Structure 1
């Protein structure tokens, strides 16, 4: 009995993982941001002083979609690397860093906790670096797909810090978005 898979079987395995991982990562990322209120119309966020390097708001949706697709492809490559040494720990590292990623938007946009979000994104960046190193040991191309994500996380960490510096009184402030009415 031959235990080696043919190249066709390997491609089919990767395709199956791609069909699961890419939509799942993109969907979870979209839900995290949407349910946290990171889109237009978040009254708390609209009140914040924006740092000078803050890009146009549409940039975030485009960049995160591309990054989530790349992350999903990288994860699928690792999951399809059946029998590869280090595959399990690399997959676990990805799940941990991705869970941290999904927690950031609710913490920053939903709970308005910029300080806690800064700590979280720093931990997320460290976890993403570990994930990238572990991916490189299994599939170097999968690690290469995570490099733009790492670069964006560095920028996002700076943005989180800059928002906190420019808006220290808004850290943890609750805004309902409701209109208050005063009778005179």
Structure 2
């Protein structure tokens, strides 16, 4: 009989919770705001983002489980890697409300640099505990490179697209 590994499932699902909340924020602003922005022709289609992020979040979550399991939990050598990972996930969850909610493209770009740093740190620290866990972070880092380039170009090409406070009051 197949035994379900509840801790592995919990660690794997956890990062997706913020992704689901971010998806709600994003959906509200795709047609009304994001589609009006200038974007590079190489950007992935909107439909690609949800499955890609779900896959990445699952990989990251499972990697965190491997580190937790093999690194003695929060009281062993896994403590620092899991703290860096947790910081990364929180920063990642914060990006969507900054970009799509507040429409602060430049702030989102700055915040994305913190995501990149903590993602690289997570991958390195995870690798030291469990090499497979570290390698599971690589696709995330690669996608973050694409996301960073996309965020930069969208900010660069749309510096004046955010409505001014006075325009909002008039409506």
1:38 match: 26
1:109 to 83, 100, 104: 100
User: Where in structure 1 are there 5+ consecutive unaligned residues?
Assistant: 1-11, 175-179
Using the alignment, how far apart are the partners of 2:115 and 2:105 within structure 1? 15
1:95 match: 86
Secondary structure (helix, strand or coil) at the match of 2:124 reads helix
Greater displacement, 40-49 / 17-26: 40-49
1:128 match: 119
- Could you tell me how far 1:86 is from its partner in structure 2? 2.6
Secondary structure (helix, strand or coil) at the match of 1:135 reads helix
1:77 match: 66
Label 1:136 to 1:46 Cα distance change in 2 as closer, same or farther (>3 A).
same
Deviation digits for residues 29-52 of structure 1 (CA, Å, limit 9, x no counterpart): 111232xx2126531212111212
- Could you tell me how far 1:116 is from its partner in structure 2? 0.2
- Could you tell me how far 1:15 is from its partner in structure 2? 2.4
Structure with higher helix content:
2
Based on CA coordinates, which of the two structures has the bigger radius of gyration? 1
Label 1:82 to 1:147 Cα distance change in 2 as closer, same or farther (>3 A).
closer
Greater displacement, 162-171 / 152-161: 162-171
Using the alignment, how far apart are the partners of 1:172 and 1:114 within structure 2? 12
1:54 match: 43
Structure 1 stretches of 4+ moved >6 Å: none
CA contact (8 A) 1:118 1:157 kept: yes
Q: Normalized against structure 2, the TM-score is what?
A: 0.86
Using the alignment, how far apart are the partners of 2:100 and 2:35 within structure 1? 11
1:170 match: 161
Secondary structure (helix, strand or coil) at the match of 2:26 reads coil
1:177 match: none
User: Where in structure 2 are there 5+ consecutive unaligned residues?
Assistant: 166-170
Q: Normalized against structure 1, the TM-score is what?
A: 0.81
Greater displacement, 107-116 / 18-27: 18-27
Q: How many residues align?
A: 163
- Could you tell me how far 1:76 is from its partner in structure 2? 0.9
Label 1:159 to 1:48 Cα distance change in 2 as closer, same or farther (>3 A).
same
